[in-house]
Amino acid sequence: MKMLIKGGDVVNPEKMNVEQLDIKVESGVITAIGNNLPVEGAQVVEADGKLVCPGLIDMHVHLREPGYEHKETIATGTKAAAQGGFTAVACMPNTNPVADNASIIRHILERSEAEGVVKVYPIAAITKGSKGDELTEMADLKSAGAVALSDDGIPVASAAVMRRAMQYANMLNLPVIPHCEDKDLVGGGVMHEGFQSTVLGLPGIPAAAEEVMVARDIILAETTGCKLHIAHVSTAGSVELVRQAKRRGVNVTCEVTPHHFTLTDEEVTGYNTNTKVNPPLRSSADVLAIKEGLADGTIDVIATDHAPHSEEEKAVEYQYAPFGLVGLETAVGLVFTELVSKGILTAPEAIAKLSLNPARVLGIKAGKLMVGETADITIIDPGAKEVINPAHLAGKSKNTPFNGRELKGLPVMTLVNGKIVMRDRRVTG
């Protein structure tokens, strides 16, 4: 019941500082933070040289339950989250049936309570069946526990429908998280439209397919006052549109995935279907712009878009494979390897994008280490190294393009409500 996390470098993403402190936990709550706190029979976790952080939150995850349990379940997906250092995830509504009514939201929460290793926050659909026509009963969804609205991988094509959705969401103080993609411009594209798609003979998806919808939804958010959060930005143009909107005072935030700041469309060479994602891996110029957006604060959140698929589904020709890769287990290592160690973000800046900022977007009480707060804590060892092996991933699916890549800076302990659910890269919860 008592724990003392001793001598760690405590990260405060609000103040953007790091200070060596002890943290005392009792009955799942932080009861003291300071120097040389007495042990008093508590379990001691030696954290010298490690970063003690507010529990990380991945606000864009596909848990696949109900309906697609052959890809992932709430049990396996939350184990993957715990291994990756996340104490909470927000799950997308593209289940079967779609999470477009209160009973499914309650079902997800009940299953999460029974089988989840970390906390789960459901995101509900904007339109019924995510078909883009009829709005869901948003007030009922919020009352049932939904924290945001999204049709996820299906864009709301009608500007009129999206405008009404934003008007209602604004009244309920629910963020809208659109998948910004013009399907007419996408056509049959399967990768980024550019030199590489021409060389590989694959139909391309132009950057404009994303950017025109980002622009439209920013305009609608500016008109309605709605809290807009743009999922997985992938192009330089999208980053600049968000940057300009923020300067005008639009209530907009956005996220990027680790694969979009790490990989380019050159990775598609060899036709590895684990590189097939939506939005697609973009050009090196887009990756540079994303890193600039992370550094200057235009991009608020790092989220994985964890999208598990079975080996059989991915073991087909590139054109026919489903979009998506798994990201929960590798995200922190990629952030520290690609961003922190290269000076693009400081550790507090990175942790803010992984904890405090997603909590603020979703309106949940999390992302801070303070006396009286629930002890959701992630401990990261900046010096720990690991070579990614899909066989060692905790989730049900193994569709990662990072097989064999060495990462430095890894989560080594995850605590949820003061309980250790992952230690030394092994899930214990």
Give the dihedral of Cα atoms 343, 345, 347, 352; nearest 10 deg: 180
**Cβ atoms 381, 85 nearer than 8 A:** no
Query: How far is the C-alpha of 236 from the C-alpha of 300, rounded, in Å?
Result: 15
| Annotation says 184 is catalytic | no
Helix axes 102-115 and 74-83, enclosed angle (nearest 10)? 60
**Cβ atoms 123, 150 nearer than 8 A:** yes
Query: How far is the C-alpha of 314 from the C-alpha of 323, rounded, in Å?
Result: 9
Query: How far is the C-alpha of 186 from the C-alpha of 195, rounded, in Å?
Result: 17
Query: How far is the C-alpha of 285 from the C-alpha of 69, rounded, in Å?
Result: 38
Query: How far is the C-alpha of 73 from the C-alpha of 67, rounded, in Å?
Result: 9
**Cα separation values, 339 from 53, 243, 335, 350, Å:** 17, 20, 5, 8
Query: How far is the C-alpha of 10 from the C-alpha of 14, rounded, in Å?
Result: 12
Strands (E), 13-78: 17-26, 29-34, 43-46, 51-54, 56-61
User: 121 Cβ partners below 8 Å, 6+ apart?
Assistant: 59, 88, 89, 90, 91, 145, 147, 362, 364
C-beta neighbour count of 315 within 10 angstroms: 10
Of the candidates 138, 139, 81, the residue with the CA atom closest to the CA atom of residue 112:
81
CA torsion through residues 213, 177, 336, 349, sign: positive
**Cβ atoms 157, 185 nearer than 8 A:** no
Of the candidates 149, 416, 186, the residue with the CA atom closest to the CA atom of residue 280:
186
Q: Using only the alpha carbons of the chain, give its radius of gyration.
A: 21
- Catalytic residue (choose from 100, 152, 305, 376): 305
Query: How far is the C-alpha of 84 from the C-alpha of 425, rounded, in Å?
Result: 8
Pair of tokens at residue 87: 């104490």
Query: How far is the C-alpha of 128 from the C-alpha of 227, rounded, in Å?
Result: 21
Query: Active-site positions?
Result: 305
